[in-house]
Each structure stands twice: as structure tokens, then as C-alpha cells.
């Protein structure tokens, strides 16, 4: 009898096993098309963040579609693991992907409460992971069966620790944070290792509804779920003690103060983002690439601090000017809203610093505040450069064999235009200083002298020089060209000036040194920008010498008759290195500039209003923009050795007479050294100061002593 019962039990078990196996095979056969392959299971590869780094190794910015910073299991706090298992899947460490006891429990509960098999619950951690990675969120029986089968496959492919690690790296915690590390940074401003028990409980509580339980939008809901669900589950499961439970309940939710996460150098990193999207596409930009840039984070911080402080100072001065001389009614009429008025009356600025030899962008500031205005004035804004355009005129003149000693009259002139009208250019100071050399005309930024040069060399020659040196914006070939009436971009102007310290070679500005994708493949690698021969080495050297007078020339020193427009501005800021550059101011004081360089760095600064309203009388480039340039360059050169501008051996350097500008003789009372383009140097001695021309002072005849002779 006993044998018969044992036989029947075994028979029933075998039949049940066959039936269950048949049902399982039928289910797998029916839904296998929706299941991931083992190959896909072994290559779970969540989207990652792309990291942007400075040249000195500082992380500047992250780009993401799903912001995710993967962490290993060892970095995840035990409290987070305990909170997850206690709340979502208490049998996680014992089941094989699907928890049958939980399924029966939830089915009975749903029937008892709702009278239906439909309802939520019973999904294990592995099932949730399977649904999140491979399946949809559709509430259907087919998806549920596929979810369970996929969970079983996951359990066969990965260890429990690996599943927990993937879960915490994969899930959405809300507010753009995918994964527990991104959530820790987003909500608490710390790495995952530093999370406390209550913070872990809060983050696990968000998983049920990242938006509904958001501690930013709904702090009470988030705290109620943390305390009433997660912490209570941890206490019941014995994962935390009663003392830890009570302590965690008492802790308020303290979130990191959050604005837009612009990172460091936001205008520069946005410039990088646009470049990556244009060059490599979205699949690289938003999927775990590492991008190494040319930016120097120390110079970037200095540039931002110095420029923003100066903008605040100048804003106060401008507002004082406006109280006396407010903008006309047409300006205010165009402003429809309060936001328009704020934008139009908020002073803006931009700064770009380059290495002239490699084209590396060392610093870039595109405006006062990236959060309120994404417009990058360093690379997007077209503005009139004013006198900062004059160097191209003088370089065109040097190219036409005009020597720096060429004398021009700084006097009232009337120029007949093509339409028959007459144009009378005026100087910034409304004065005329008489005859002066090209060097003095450039150093003193004399508009009349520059206009005469444009007449002599022709506007098209100036345009050609500017284009060769890197100006890509459209330039009108007009006589007013020397006053900077054609609009350009700051980065173009800075790059063009960089031709001079680089011995006539133009190097295209670059921002990216290397791009490495998530698999370690190098997609792009650069050492420097592309080179172009813009000027001869001799021409670059002579032009540099002339522009150095803008910074170093002072009236009365070395027989100079006027002072360079940047002399006092650089001295007042304590910047005394060998340097060259040019101030720039538009006619209505709407744009102020200074672009200058040393042998190591070329930097340009622009300050003005987006609305192009005037800053007020006397608000020139030397007054407004130059202090920013001088302070920044002083900071940038703190760790750099002092270098002089090198003069090629082919450039004649001759001592000339200050009166005749011919080769000085020993009799010339005033003389100085001047540089010339080869073949344009004076070859004859000064005809005025010679022995023949000397006027000797009459001397009194010496009295002959009386002598007595004896015969």
C-alpha cells in the first residue's frame, strides 16, 4: 500500500513537472521574440555623460540626455542597498529573478481589494531592471510575462551584486538625474559615498515616482515616503536599529542650493557643445565621450572675475551719465517689456585669450551671465571695432613700402565722396596736432592721419590685409574703413592680431585637443590650429614695433611728441611687460575695445550694450576696456618668463634724426632708433646737421701776455 502511494506521488510529480515544463516552453516560444538575446544581456550599456576637461585637468562641464555617472557596487552605501531591498524586494537575495510568494500574495491582495487580477506589485528588483533596460512600461500581460522571463535571464547572466549595481546606475531619480551618483550630486551636492541613512532612504523613495515625490517640488510628499515607507521598512527588516530609525526621522530634508548647472566657463563649454554636435554628432556628444580642451581653468576664472567686476564698475558710471544725458525717446520706445528694458540697459562684455603660436583658446567669456543670456558675444556678436581696426591700415601702408617715418598732416581735411558730398573726419579729442609720422599717428590713434593713409593705399588693399590676417566678416571697402565702421567678431580680431607675435603666420583658433569615445577610441586629436602665411616675417616685426608704441610711447621720452593711447592704462594696472596693441572706440561710444599681445598671449576685450546705446561721453576703449586687458594679462603672465619681441636680422634698425628722419649723424641733437621694411630704410646722412651747418659760438680772443725783450 505504501509503495502504491509513493508511486502515485512520484507519478503526479513527474506529470506536474512535464505540464509545467510544457507550459513554460509554450510561454517562452510565444514570447521569445520580445526577449533580449544573451549577447544583449552581456552588453548592457546605459547612456553615459560626456565630460569636458580643461588643459589643466579640471572638469568643466557634463553633457547628457540621461545624466548618468556610473559607480561600482563597492561605492554604493550599504544603507542604500538595504533601503532598496527592504522597500522593493525583501526576497531579492534568495529568489531567481521572480518571487513566487510575492506573486501569490499580490494576486490575493488585488482580488480582495479590487476584485481583479490587475494591479501593481510583485515586480522584483531584477524585473524592474529588465523592464527599464529592455522593455516598455505598457501594463499588459504580454509585457509582464516578458519581464519575468527577462529577469530570469538576467539572474543567469549576472550576480546579485552586479544586478544591484546596474539597478542603481540605470534608474531615474528625477530632475534629470539617472543613477544614484547623479542623484547624490543633484540633490545633496555630494558623491554617493557620503550619503547618510536618511538621504539614502529619500533617494530610494523617489524610485516609485520621481516627479510625484520630488523633494524640490513636493518636499512634504518626499519626506512622508522617506519616513513612512522606506525607513519603516528598513526598521522592520532589521537593517537599521531603533536609535538609527528615530535619528533619521528627525532629520529634515536639506537639499543643495540649485541653479542651472552651467559648470566652469559656460560660454566656452557651449561653444564646445556646438562644435561636437556639428563635427561628431549627437551619438558622441551625449554618450560618454571624454573631450580635452585648450582652456586654462586658472586663466578662465581670472578672466571672468576681472571682467565681471569691471562691468559692475562701468555700469555705475554709465547710469550716472544717463541721469545727466539719458538715451533719446526712440531708444525707450523700442522696449516693450520689463525684460526688454533690463536686457537693453545691462552692460555686457566679452574676452578672448589665445596662444598666438598654437591657436589654443586659453580663456573665453561671452557675456555677463550665461543663465540669463546664452548669446556668446566673443564669437557671435558683430560689432564695429572702431580704432582697433587701424592696424590693418598701417600694415597695408608698410606693405606698400611706406616707412614708419612717413610724415602726414594731422589737420582739418575735407574729402569729396562719390555722391558729391564732403566728409570731414575728426579726431577723438577734436584737435589737430600738425605733422607727425605714421608711428605717431598709430600710437595716438589719429583719425585724420589714418584716413589719409587709406586714401594712399586704397581701401581694397586694407580689406585684403584684414582678410589675409583672419577677418572673415564682411568688410566694406570705404574710406571710413580706418575708423572701424565694418562690423567684426571679437575672436576674429584677436586671431588676426595673433599673426604679429607669430611672425606673420596666422593660426586658426582651436578649442579641442582630443576627443575619446566611451570605448576609448580617439575620434579627434589636434596639436594646433591650421597655419596660413598672412604676412612676411619682416612686415609682422615692423608692425609689432609700431603697435608697441601704443603701449610704451610717452610724450617727451625718446623725443616723442605724443603719448600712446594705452600708455597710462597699462601703467596704472602695473603691467610693464613688452606688449603691443590697440584701443578702439566707436563714434557714439557704443563699443569699447582693447586688443593686445605679448610674445606669449594675445587677448581682446569688448565692452558695450547689446542694444548699441552709448556708454556716455569719454567712455573710450582706453577708459573702459583697457583696464580689463591689463589686469588679465598681468595675472596670466605671473608664471611666464619675460620675453622681448624678436627683430629678424633682415629688418634694418637705424638711428635717425628726429628732424629729418634721415640717418643720424653725430651732430644731430635729437635722434632715435627706428625699424624699417627692407629696402625702405633711409640711406643718406642727415643733410641738416653737419659740420657745415653747425653754428659755432664766437669766443673771446685770449690776451697775449706782455713780454720784455732784451737786446
Give the active site residue among 54, 86, 88, 99.
88
Percent of the chain with pLDDT over 90: 57
Residue 44: is its pLDDT beyond 50?
no
Is pLDDT of 548 > 50? yes
Cell matching residue 635: 595675472
Helices 78-88, 197-206: axis angle to 10 degrees equals 40
Render pLDDT for 195-238 as a digit per residue (tens, 0 to 9). 999 999 999 999 888 889 999 889 999 999 999 999 999 999 99
Q: What's residue 701's pLDDT?
A: 46
Q: Which CATH number fits domain 66-250: 2.60.40.10, 1.10.3810.10, 3.30.1950.10, 1.20.1250.10?
A: 1.10.3810.10
Mean pLDDT, residues 72-76: 91
In this prediction, residue 425 has a pLDDT band, given cuts at 50, 70 and 90, of confident
Q: Quick check: 506 pLDDT over 90?
A: yes
* Average of per-residue pLDDT across 687-691: 85
**Angle, CA 526 vertex, CA 525 and CA 529 arms, to 5°:** 155
pLDDT at 122 over 70: no
Report whether 91 contacts 128 (CB < 8 A).
Answer: no
Cα separation, 317 vs 619, whole angstroms? 9
Dihedrals phi, psi of 674, to nearest 5 degrees? -130, 150
pLDDT at 1 over 90: no
Q: Report the pLDDT value the prediction gives residue 193, as an integer from 0 to 100.
A: 93
pLDDT per position as a tens digit, 531-541: 999 999 999 99
For residues 276 and 522, give the distance between their C-alpha atoms in angstroms, rounded to a whole number: 14
Whether 117 has a pLDDT exceeding 90, the answer reads no
pLDDT value of residue 62: 82
Per-residue pLDDT at 592: 96
Tell which wins on pLDDT, 559 or 148.
559
Residue 174: which pLDDT band, with cuts at 50, 70 and 90? confident
Stronger pLDDT, 633 or 338, i.e. the higher one: 633
pLDDT of residue 160: 84
C-alpha cell at 530: 591650421
With 80 as the cut, is the pLDDT of residue 18 above it?
Answer: no
Higher pLDDT, 360 or 116: 360
User: Residue 121: pLDDT above 70?
Assistant: no
Considering 9-13, 192-196, 595-599, the range whose residues carry the highest mean pLDDT is: 595-599
Confidence of residue 549 (pLDDT cuts 50, 70, 90): very high
Query: Are β-strands 177-178 and 348-354 bridged in parallel, bridged antiparallel, or unpaired?
Result: unpaired
Per-chain mean pLDDT for the chain: 84
Rounded to the nearest 5 degrees, what angle is found at the Cα of 430, between the Cα atoms of 426 and 436? 75
Domain boundaries, the chain: 66-250, 652-696
Q: What is the pLDDT of residue 560?
A: 85
Given a contact cutoff of 8 angstroms between Cβ atoms, the answer to whether 627 and 646 are in contact is no
- On the question of pLDDT at 254 being above 60, the answer is yes
Edge-to-edge, what's the strand order for the sheet holding 361-365? 361-365, 348-354, 602-608, 591-597, 580-585
Quickly state the pLDDT bin for 162 (edges 50, 70, 90): confident
User: Do the Cβ atoms of 627 and 310 come closer than 8 Å?
Assistant: yes
* Predicted pLDDT at 95: 76
User: 314-328, 381-395, 446-460 — which is least confidently predicted?
Assistant: 314-328
* pLDDT attached to residue 67: 62
Angle, helices 390-399 vs 447-457, to 10°: value is 40
Question: How do residues 655-685 score in pLDDT, each as one tens digit?
Answer: 999 999 999 999 999 999 999 999 999 999 9
Q: Quick one: pLDDT at residue 141?
A: 47
Residue 42 has pLDDT above 50, yes or no: no
Instruction: Give pLDDT, residue 706.
Output: 41
- Tens-place pLDDT, residues 27-38: 444 444 454 544
- pLDDT of 4: 62
Q: Look at phi and psi of residue 493 and say left if phi exceeds 0, alpha if psi is from -120 to 50, else beta.
A: alpha
Residue 428 and residue 193: Cα distance in Å, rounded?
63
How far apart (Å, rounded) are the C-alpha atoms in residues 485 and 632?
Answer: 27
Distance CA 387, CA 481 (A): 9
What is the end-to-end Cα distance of the chain in Å, rounded? 188
Least confident of 117-126, 228-237, 384-393, 604-613: 117-126
Confidence of residue 329 (pLDDT cuts 50, 70, 90): low
Checking if the pLDDT of 41 tops 90, the result is: no
Out of 123, 297, 387, 620, pick the active-site residue: 387
**What pLDDT was estimated at residue 414?**
81
Catalytic annotation on 387?
Answer: yes
pLDDT number for residue 98: 67
Please determine, for residue 8, whether its predicted confidence score (pLDDT) is greater than 70.
Answer: no
For 16-20, 379-383, 476-480, which range has the lowest pLDDT when averaged over its residues?
16-20
Amino acid at each position: 500500500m505504501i509503495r502504491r502511494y509513493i508511486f502515485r506521488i512520484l507519478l503526479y510529480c513527474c506529470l506536474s513537472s512535464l505540464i509545467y515544463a510544457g507550459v513554460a516552453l509554450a510561454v517562452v516560444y510565444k514570447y521569445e521574440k520580445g526577449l533580449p538575446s544573451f549577447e544583449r544581456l552581456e552588453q548592457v550599456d546605459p547612456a553615459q555623460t560626456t565630460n569636458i576637461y580643461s588643459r589643466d585637468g579640471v572638469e568643466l562641464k557634463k553633457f547628457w540626455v540621461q545624466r548618468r555617472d556610473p559607480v561600482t557596487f563597492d561605492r554604493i552605501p550599504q544603507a542604500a542597498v538595504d533601503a532598496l531591498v527592504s522597500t522593493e524586494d525583501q526576497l531579492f537575495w534568495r529568489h531567481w529573478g521572480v518571487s513566487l510568494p510575492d506573486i501569490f500574495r499580490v494576486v490575493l491582495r488585488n482580488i480582495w481589494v479590487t476584485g481583479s487580477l490587475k494591479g501593481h506589485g510583485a515586480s522584483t528588483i531584477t524585473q524592474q531592471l529588465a523592464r527599464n533596460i529592455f522593455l516598455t512600461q505598457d501594463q499588459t500581460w504580454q509585457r509582464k510575462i516578458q519581464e519575468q522571463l527577462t529577469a530570469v535571464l538576467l539572474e543567469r547572466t549576472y550576480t546579485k551584486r552586479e544586478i544591484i549595481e546596474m539597478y542603481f546606475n540605470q534608474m531615474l531619480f528625477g530632475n534629470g538625474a539617472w543613477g544614484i551618483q547623479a542623484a547624490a550630486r543633484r540633490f545633496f551636492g555630494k558623491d554617493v559615498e557620503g550619503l547618510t541613512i536618511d538621504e539614502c532612504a529619500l533617494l530610494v523613495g523617489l524610485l516609485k515616482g520621481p516627479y510625484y515625490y520630488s523633494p524640490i517640488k513636493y518636499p512634504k510628499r518626499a519626506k512622508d515616503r522617506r519616513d513612512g515607507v522606506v525607513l519603516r521598512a528598513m526598521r522592520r527588516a532589521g537593517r537599521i536599529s531603533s536609535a538609527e530609525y528615530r535619528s533619521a526621522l528627525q532629520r529634515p530634508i536639506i537639499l543643495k542650493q540649485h541653479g542651472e548647472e552651467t559648470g566652469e566657463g559656460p560660454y566656452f563649454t557651449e561653444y564646445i557643445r556646438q562644435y561636437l554636435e556639428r563635427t561628431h554628432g549627437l551619438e558622441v556628444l551625449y554618450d560618454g565621450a571624454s573631450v580635452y580642451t585648450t582652456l586654462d581653468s586658472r586663466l578662465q576664472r581670472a578672466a571672468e572675475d576681472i571682467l565681471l567686476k569691471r562691468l559692475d564698475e562701468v555700469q555705475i558710471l554709465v547710469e550716472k551719465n544717463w541721469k545727466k544725458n539719458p538715451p533719446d525717446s526712440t531708444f525707450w520706445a523700442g522696449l516693450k517689456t520689463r525684460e526688454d528694458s533690463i536686457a537693453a540697459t545691462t552692460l555686457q562684455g566679452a574676452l578672448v585669450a589665445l596662444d598666438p603660436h598654437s591657436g589654443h583658446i586659453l580663456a573665453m567669456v561671452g557675456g555677463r551671465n550665461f543663465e540669463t543670456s546664452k548669446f556668446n558675444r566673443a564669437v557671435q556678436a558683430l560689432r564695429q571695432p572702431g580704432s582697433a581696426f587701424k592696424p590693418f591700415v598701417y600694415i597695408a601702408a608698410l606693405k606698400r613700402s611706406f616707412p614708419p617715418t612717413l610724415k602726414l598732416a594731422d589737420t582739418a581735411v575735407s574729402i569729396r565722396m562719390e555722391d558729391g558730398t564732403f566728409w570731414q573726419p575728426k579726431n577723438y579729442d577734436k584737435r589737430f596736432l600738425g605733422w607727425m609720422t605714421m608711428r605717431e599717428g598709430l600710437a595716438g590713434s589719429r583719425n585724420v592721419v589714418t584716413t589719409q593713409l587709406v586714401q594712399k593705399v586704397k581701401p581694397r588693399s586694407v580689406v585684403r590685409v584684414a582678410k589675409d590676417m583672419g577677418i572673415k566678416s564682411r568688410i566694406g571697402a570705404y574710406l571710413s574703413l580706418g575708423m572701424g565702421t565694418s562690423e567684426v567678431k571679437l575672436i576674429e580680431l584677436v586671431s588676426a592680431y595673433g599673426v604679429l607675435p607669430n611672425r606673420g603666420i596666422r593660426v586658426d583658433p582651436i578649442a579641442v585637443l582630443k576627443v575619446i569615445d566611451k570605448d576609448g577610441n580617439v575620434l579627434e586629436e589636434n596639436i594646433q590650429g591650421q597655419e596660413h602665411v598672412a604676412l612676411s616675417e619682416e612686415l609682422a616685426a615692423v608692425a609689432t614695433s609700431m603697435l608697441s608704441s601704443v603701449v610704451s610711447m610717452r610724450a617727451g621720452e625718446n623725443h616723442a611728441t605724443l603719448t600712446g593711447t594705452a600708455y597710462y592704462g597699462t601703467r596704472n594696472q602695473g603691467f610693464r611687460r613688452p606688449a603691443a596693441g590697440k584701443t578702439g572706440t566707436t563714434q557714439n561710444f557704443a563699443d569699447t575695445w582693447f586688443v593686445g599681445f605679448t610674445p606669449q598671449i594675445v587677448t581682446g576685450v569688448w565692452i558695450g550694450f547689446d542694444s548699441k546705446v552709448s556708454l556716455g561721453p569719454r567712455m573710450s576703449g582706453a577708459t573702459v576696456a583697457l583696464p580689463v586687458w591689463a589686469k588679465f594679462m598681468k595675472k596670466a603672465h605671473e608664471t611666464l618668463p619675460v620675453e622681448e619681441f624678436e627683430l629678424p636680422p633682415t629688418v634694418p634698425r637705424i638711428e635717425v634724426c628726429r628732424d629729418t628722419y634721415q640717418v643720424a649723424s653725430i651732430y644731430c641733437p635729437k635722434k632715435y632708433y627706428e625699424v624699417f621694411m627692407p629696402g625702405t630704410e633711409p640711406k643718406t646722412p642727415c643733410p641738416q646737421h653737419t659740420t657745415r651747418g653747425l653754428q659755432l659760438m664766437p669766443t673771446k680772443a685770449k690776451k697775449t701776455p706782455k713780454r720784455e725783450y732784451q737786446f
